Amino acid sequence: MTKKILRALAGERLPTPPIWMMRQAGRYLPEYRATRAQAGDFLSLCYNPELAAEVTLQPISRYGFDAAILFADILLVPQALGADLWFVTGEGPRLSTVTDAGGVAALKPADAVHDTLAPIYQTLRILTRELPKDTTLIGFAGAPWTVATYMIAGRGTPDQGPAHRFKDADRAAFSMLIDRITDATIEYLSAQIDAGAEVVKLFDSWAGSLKGKDFDDFAIAPVTRIISALNQRHPTIPVIAFPREARSRYEGFARATGADCVALDNSVDAQWAAANLQTDGCVQGNLDPRHMVTGGQALIDETRAIVSAFRNGPHIFNLGHGITPDADPENVALMVDTVRNS
């Protein structure tokens, strides 16, 4: 029988939605913290195929999720393109910056991802052997706009201001950067699929800060080009898109980009999404991650409400954003049990 997530992505309505969780391999799990300590640091863990596969498998062993998502990071693509990348403990990623046309021109070509990111593909090959036969393997990348915001600012920012200033000051150079990231992302995801990924997901974490034509040009257009290229190379592989905080622009996003599924952040009303988005195909989401911290009856009630809202169409249950390090592993177990018994 075809795996449950693949059935949902193909448009099938299932009696019980398949379930996985963004950042399901992560710091809330003691076994992850132990493996990361063994690796030495975050980037060393990403580039160690055996240990990266181990942490990818940990939440599958603990919870029996219907999918495993490759353990990696969206900023490995900028690193492959020539950016310096490091992580500051307690603060997050730092990169050398690209702030003008000269910086864009100095980047490596898109196919640099093949050599630099070879360990990531090896992680996927290990997972194809080690995952349970009914568990779907998901690969991923950051969408070009979100990746660009980090490359321009050198770090995460509250409002993506540096990227907006670059875009507004030199739209041609900014578009060149988006194109370079788009080309690299096509190569990266295609190689992930060649290595065993059965689904790929594009994370546009900062899509919500784009408005009007900027949203069309830098959230919709690059994702459309990536999906079109992947469809040509790998016509059976579905793509999930996550334009986080897109608000009203969620509507029609799947049609515009060709995405097989749109993941929803937790600000989206599930009843509205069922009426306006699920009519275009599969939706994913969208429990508030704070319930993984607080637990209790509120977690149960909200989980049941989301399952009920999306019951009449194809749905993959997930959080509306990644699980946070302060989450209680027991609350994750409660969520999984609630979904599967709703």
pLDDT in tens, 316-334: 999 999 999 999 999 999 9
What residues contact residue 61 under an 8 Å CB cut-off, 6+ apart? none
Q: Does residue 331 have a cis bond before it (omega within 30 degrees)? A: no
Per-residue model confidence as pLDDT tens digits over 62-72:
999 999 999 99
Domains delineated in the chain? 4-340 (3.20.20.210)
State the pLDDT at residue 180. 98
Per-residue model confidence as pLDDT tens digits over 19-42:
999 999 999 999 999 999 999 999
Q: What DSSP letter does each residue of 209-260 carry, written as one string?
A: G--HHHHIIIIIHHHHHHHHHHHHH-TT--EEEEETT-GGGGTTHHHHH--S
Length of the chain: 342
The residues annotated with a catalytic role in the active site are 23, 27, 36, 73, 150
- Placement of tokens 């592993």 in the chain: 329
> Taking 90 as the threshold, does the pLDDT of residue 54 lie above it?
yes
**What DSSP state is assigned to residue 98?**
-
Give Cα 273 to chain centroid, integer Å.
Answer: 20
State the pLDDT at residue 91. 86
Distance CA 195, CA 175 (A): 30
> Does the reported pTM lie above 0.95?
yes
> Taking 90 as the threshold, does the pLDDT of residue 7 lie above it?
yes
Ranges of beta strands (E only) in the chain are 67-69, 85-88, 92-95, 136-142, 199-204, 239-243, 261-263, 282-284, 315-316
- Placement of tokens 């799990």 in the chain: 29
What residues contact residue 54 under an 8 Å CB cut-off, 6+ apart? 35
Give the confidence band of 1 by pLDDT, cuts at 50, 70, 90: low
> Taking 90 as the threshold, does the pLDDT of residue 53 lie above it?
yes
Residue range 102-122: mean pLDDT, rounded: 97
